[in-house]
Amino acid sequence: MYQDTIAAIATPQGEGGIGIVRLSGPDAGGIAATIFRRGRLGTRITADELISHRLTYGTIVDPTSGRVVDEVMIVRMVPPRTYTREEIVEINCHGGFLPVRRVLDLCLTHGARMATAGEFTLRAFLNGRIDLSQAEAVAGVISARTPRSLDLAVAELRGQLTERLRPARDTLVETLAYVDAAADFPDDEIPPLELSPALDRAADELASVIAAASAGVLYREGVRIAIVGRPNAGKSSLLNRLLGSDRAIVTDIAGTTRDVIAETVNLLGIPATLLDTAGIAESEDAIERIGIARSRQALASSGIALFVIDRSRPAHSDDREIANLLAEQLSDGGVVVALNKRDLPVTDSQAATLTLLPGAPVVEVSTHTGEGISDLLGALHATVTHQAGQAGEPALATVRQLDALRRALAHVEAARAARATGYPVDILSIDLRAALHAVGEVTGEAVDEAVLDEIFSRFCIGK
């Protein structure tokens, strides 16, 4: 499909053991042969002498000056068994910035052009080696922040999302074929199809994939959890305990935290950004009021709140005001209560405060001893997955893919409503076609150039 040859640095730039320059395209072997000399004697060879999928030792030489640039291992890969299904050459240099850059410059000087972001993976998609969902999974593998995220990304790399979509797509194709045939050939004998059950089945199949994809977005994008409470409730101590390090300053002086501290943890497989906030309370201190305002902003931008209450102190109006704020902003749940300092005597049951958050999980913890922390992590994980509507095994999906799937289901629901209302059968084809198009946006069967540009622009240059 592409007639030119591209090149890029495929490893992170900086100091390291190895740096790789990758070429892909019809002239990859020829360009490599121009600048490569085999063995210690520096013998010139042709591209065909580079045996496919076998490493060859030698040097990279500037053909103009004869100057040796670096000692390398080079591998040529002949299609179709390559990443892009084009001829690929990878030059393994020393991992310093200069040697890798000089090798790339020689490749560009002798016929290659600089690859754009994600162009290698784009060519793999356009040449039919992977579908679009697999191409996007490549980015998921690279950016995975937890072992669970990586496992899901690798599963999607093998085409799991497309396989999950296959039953819904097949049902839509079968139903649309029947509707079109019934409309175009009304006098012919068309094999019967019960439309309403078929539409119900397509809706159920799509809903199942959407539930898995919703959870998958969570594992890809992560979740923000705001740690809130009144001053000196133990928010910073809890952050440190969850992180396993002393990230936040902890003192007996109320109001130590003046700004929002953000740190990422592995929440049983889900990347979670914990936001330690300033204590929410009335204050005359101008700086402290700014911190409190930022705490409210952090809460507004978070999907989950971890409400920390000091069970060793009497209930306070500030606790009740925070509970009311949480009930207002997270009315659909999303609040976990940590009754802190379980290692100290109980002064108050905090029952009046807790009644303001009916249904919220309540876990007694001690940031001093670590008691209850594993239970708290479990409660947070359960709340996060419940919010995402996770049911069964998640499918690592992007926000774009999830949007397309929801549009597909909306069109199927519109077709069901039209069928129930008694609209002519041929009218259903409009929504069925739109649903199939939306499914095709996930697999790549129906996607325009602008969407491809948006997807692959997020990749690194060498991928």
CA–CA separation, 176 vs 428, rounded Å?
8
How are beta strands 223-228 and 270-276 bridged, if at all? parallel
In whole angstroms, how far apart are CA 28 and each of 43, 53, 76, 93, 104?
Answer: 19, 14, 8, 17, 12
Determine contact, residues 76/28, Cβ cutoff 8 Å.
Answer: yes
CA gap 425, 419 in Å, rounded: 7
Is the CATH code 2.40.50.140 the one for domain 138-217+398-456?
no
What pLDDT does residue 248 have?
44
CA pair distance 418, 422, nearest whole angstrom? 6
* Backbone phi and psi for residue 91, each to the nearest 5 degrees, phi listed first: -105, 115
Q: If we measure between CA atoms, which residue out of 377, 444, 405, 352 comes closest to residue 132?
A: 444
**Alpha carbons 8 and 101: distance in angstroms, whole number:** 9
pLDDT at 138: 87
Per-residue pLDDT, 99: 93
pLDDT of residue 250: 41
Instruction: Point out which residues pair with 310 in neighbouring strands.
Output: 340
Answer for the pair 417, 196: CB distance below 8 angstroms, yes or no: no
Beta-sheet pairing, 6-9 with 18-24: antiparallel
Give φ, ψ of 53 to 5 degrees.
60, 30
Domain spans in the chain, listed from the N-terminal domain onward? 6-115, 138-217+398-456, 222-388
Residuewise pLDDT in 10s, the chain (463 residues): 578 999 999 998 888 889 999 999 999 999 999 999 999 888 999 999 999 999 999 999 999 999 999 999 999 999 999 999 999 999 999 988 899 999 999 999 999 999 998 999 999 999 999 888 888 888 888 888 888 888 888 888 888 888 899 999 999 988 888 887 776 655 555 566 678 899 999 999 999 999 888 878 888 888 888 888 887 788 888 888 888 755 544 434 344 444 467 788 888 888 888 887 755 544 444 444 444 455 556 566 567 888 888 888 877 788 888 888 888 777 667 889 989 888 888 776 677 788 888 888 999 999 889 899 999 999 999 888 887 665 567 777 888 899 999 999 999 999 999 888 888 777 888 999 999 999 998 888 876 676 677 677 777 777 7
Cα dihedral 352, 357, 363, 365 sign: negative
According to the model, what pLDDT value does residue 231 have? Answer: 79
Domain covering 222-388 assigned CATH 3.40.50.720 in the classification:
no
Task: Give per-residue burial for 122-138: e unless 16+ CB within 10 Å, then b.
Answer: bbbbbbebbbbbbbbbb
Q: What is the spatial distance between Cα 310 and Cα 348, in angstroms, rounded to a whole number?
A: 9
Dist. CA 229–CA 36, nearest whole Å: 64
* 76: β partners: 52, 89
The tokens for 211 are 């539930």
Q: How far apart are CA 310 and CA 307, in angstroms?
A: 10
* Angle in degrees, CA 159, 399, 462, rounded to 5: 65
Query: Which pLDDT does position 6 carry in this prediction?
Result: 97
Rg (CA), the chain: 29
Q: What pLDDT does residue 5 have?
A: 97
CATH class of 6-115: alpha beta
